[in-house]
Amino acid sequence: MTPAQFRKYGKKVIDQIADYQEAIESYPVLSPISPGDIRKNLPKHPPEKGEAFDTILSDWQEKILPGITHWQSPNFFAYFSANASGPAILGDLISSGLGVQGMIWATSPACTELETHMMDWLIDLLDLPKHFHSTTEGGGVIQDTASNGTLCALLAAREKATQFKSNESGIQGELVAYTSSQAHSSVEKAVKIAGLGRKNLQVIEVDKEFAMNPNALEKQIKKDLEAGKIPAFVCATIGTTSSTAIDPVQRIGEICHTCDIWLHVDAAMAGSAAACPELRHIHDGLELADSYAFNPHKWMLTNFDCSAFFVRDREALIRTLTILPEYLRNPATESGEVIDYRDWQIQLGRRFRALKLWFVLRYYGKEGIQEHIRTCVELAERFRSWVEEDPDYELLAPSPLNTVCFRHKKGDRFNEQLMNKLNEDGKICLTHTRLDGKFSLRLAIGQPQTKEKHVIGAWNRIREMASRLDRS
Ligand SMILES: Cc1ncc(COP(=O)(O)O)c(C=O)c1O
């Protein structure tokens, strides 16, 4: 494709994306297709000869769009949001246009330096502990996902707990990791990948608000020490996936500090809320953390993927992950004056993700991001009050931020049917969780296009569908 053709088709593509944004509410939020429907409309083999770009452009709308679940719809209340925004899309497009692979500083200095700068900006924006700043022994890096941030933290913790010998000789002794029963499944996955063994993940009980019980954590650590095991890693969560519960990081941090255990704090969705001073209490105790991650790709208007990961001791992370084959040797690396982010992550190659984040932070500014967060939190509070006032419904958990866990009082089966009917109908999309064994509906508000009318619409829809189901 020549630059002239690229210009022509690029304009069409931007038009199609803008058309999509304008028409998004006309699509069923959850894709209604059945397994295999998309593939059956695709040729078995790749084309022998190249095809006209116009044909490709019309095919994606006809053959692919029906299989899309519309995460950017203002009526998408499922999982946690995956924000997209104009500036992020355009920043990502430029990043694709540059086609940069920023594995080391020398392969594109701006890719590394803008990333370091954006990580420092995020510290400023969220008022994160200064020990994560690039001018300290710590620092920040953009990972693809919070899952990989957790894995990197656990690997560094493993090495630190074994005097950096596990990388060399494999794990000697039984290292133990701790997290709450409400933590994200990525913690368990990391424990398996890091070679600790699933049985060495201690799942700590939670209190009635679904936050980790620190006394139970302390007790378990003592028990493991007495059994000759090595407590190595605690993952606390700020904003659990099920109900946005907030673990008591301060108390957990004190325990970790006393027992010399690495504390990772996973704030994948909730972290963005700290852009608003009145919500910053969610980070109480964070100064005790060894590492911390949150996803601008969830609630900070930045397209997937963009997960901000910070460490207190960059040496521990780098020593864990570094590898320097001859073909990557270069004077800048050897000078010790630059950051090579390939040593801060699992994979070697990396995209220029900082560009879209830079676009977002500049276009919206602190005020724009605060407004987005506050709108979501206020709408969730309003929704919560409607549930509270309706005698047919009950709340199942506190909602400190943007997610409300609730259900119709008619029990598990009724609520499951209600959710399925709502999603089939396509006007809204929401998902579920289980809290204290009870099937719970979960309404998470995180889309920048979601306005009060959409949340009112969702509540009316839920009640209408429940009445219909009740009558059937
Ligand atoms: C608390 C928490 N941690 C981790 C994750 C995983 O995020 P990612 O997809 O970035 O790995 C999620 C996803 O929703 C989450 O809610």
Tokens (6 digits) for 57: 């452009």
Q: What is the CATH number of the domain that holds 460?
A: 3.90.1150.10
DSSP string, 331-386: HHHHHT-S--GGGGSSSS----THHHHHHHHHHHHHHHHHHHHHHHHHHHHHHHHH
Please state the rounded mean pLDDT for residues 313-336.
Answer: 93
CA distances (Å), origin 76, targets 373, 442, 451: 16, 11, 12
Domain boundary residue, one of 300, 327, 351: 351
Q: What is the percentage of the chain residues whose pLDDT exceeds 70?
A: 100
> What local confidence, expressed as pLDDT, does residue 472 receive?
84
For ligand 1, whether the C-beta of 269 sits within 6 Å is yes
Q: What is the CATH number of the domain that holds 190?
A: 3.40.640.10
Res 324 pLDDT > 90: no
For ligand 1, whether the C-beta of 80 sits within 6 Å is yes
HSE-up (13 A, CA, CB side) for residue 331: 0
For ligand 1, whether the C-beta of 190 sits within 6 Å is no
The DSSP H or E segment spanning 232 is strand 230-237
Pair 211, 347 in one domain:
yes
Q: Give 450: exposed, middle or buried? Use CB within 10 Å, 0-12, 13-18, 19+.
A: buried
Q: Give 326: exposed, middle or buried? Use CB within 10 Å, 0-12, 13-18, 19+.
A: exposed
Q: How far, in Å, CA of 2 to CA of 433, rounded?
A: 50
> What local confidence, expressed as pLDDT, does residue 265 receive?
98
Q: What are phi and psi of 355, to 5 degrees?
A: -65, -45
> What local confidence, expressed as pLDDT, does residue 34 receive?
95
- Which strands sit side by side in the sheet containing 291-294, from one edge to the other? 139-143, 307-311, 291-294, 262-266, 230-237, 175-180, 201-204
Supply the range of the domain harboring residue 281: 100-351
State the chain's mean pLDDT as an integer.
97
Pair 427, 320 in one domain:
no
Please state the rounded mean pLDDT for residues 217-232.
Answer: 98
Q: How far, in Å, CA of 354 to CA of 46, rounded?
A: 34
Please state the rounded mean pLDDT for residues 165-181.
Answer: 95
Minimal-distance CA residue to ligand 1 atom 9: 145
- Per 3-state DSSP, the chain is made up of helix, strand and coil in percentages (nearest 5) of 50, 15, 35
Q: Which DSSP category does 274 fall into?
A: G
Structure confidence by residue, pLDDT tens digits, 390-412: 999 999 999 999 999 999 999 99
- Closest by Cα among 257, 246, 305, 286 to 132: 286
Amino acid making up residue 129: P
Structure confidence by residue, pLDDT tens digits, 34-56: 999 999 999 999 999 999 999 99
Pair 170, 318 in one domain:
yes
Nearest ligand 1 atom to the CA of 270 is 1
Res 149 pLDDT > 90: yes
Across 263-267, 274-278, 305-309, 467-471, least confident range: 467-471
> What local confidence, expressed as pLDDT, does residue 422 receive?
97
For ligand 1, whether the C-beta of 213 sits within 6 Å is no
Nearest ligand 1 atom to the CA of 239 is 1
Pair 293, 239 in one domain:
yes
Prediction pTM value: 0.96
pLDDT band at 323 (very low <50, low <70, confident <90, very high): confident
